[in-house]
Amino acid sequence: MPLTPEQHAHPTQQQLSTHRTVSSIPRASRYQQSECPTVDAQSDNWVYPSEQMFFNAMKRKQWAPREQDMKTVVPIHNIVNEMCWSQILEWERMHEGCLQPKLLKFEGKAKQPSPKARVRAMVGYQMPFDRHDWTVDRCGKQVRYVIDFYQGKRDPANPEKPSFFVDVRPALTVEGAWDRTRRFLGI
């Protein structure tokens, strides 16, 4: 029988937590709750991965995670995702007809820089360390957002504190371009 994502699919020297945290991000009903372990039965919100799940996923993607980092990395991952959702909600407020957009799916595209990231790199800016595309259910309409994740500037007073910048925007479709234009012009 295959291992569940919470089980130790990769050997570890220390015990990693299998506790999962419920996010504030509502999940669109793409699956039945019983089919998908990433949704909380009480709230229908997405559920973040446990330390063990995160470690397993990084190993599966052939990264080199360190077990001792999981206690720090997983909460940062969760906070950054909450920041992304908050910024998506800012964009979604432009569309008054839908009071509760929901996240339908997300896709990591770390090896596929967005066109904006490539242009920024050509003029000397750093490339993002990750990219995600999130698809939001806007009351029955699927809307894609592009998220570039950048390393932020370090605080000289607290250089060990991680710093991130996320560039969240609608994908460059006709409607997404219109939303970007409206925001740029303040209309």
How many whole angstroms separate alpha carbon 55 and alpha carbon 46?
19
Average of per-residue pLDDT across 2-11: 56
How many whole angstroms separate alpha carbon 142 and alpha carbon 160?
39
Reported as a single tens digit per residue, the pLDDT across 13-55 is: 788 999 999 999 999 976 554 444 555 567 789 999 999 999 9
Q: Where are the alpha helices (DSSP H) in 94-149?
A: 115-122
pLDDT confidence of residue 185: 93
- Cα→Cα distances 166→87, 99, 139, 140, 163, Å: 9, 24, 25, 26, 10
How many whole angstroms separate alpha carbon 19 and alpha carbon 47?
10
How many whole angstroms separate alpha carbon 148 and alpha carbon 169?
9
Question: What is the pTM (predicted TM-score) of this model?
Answer: 0.84
| High-pLDDT (> 90) share of the chain, % | 65
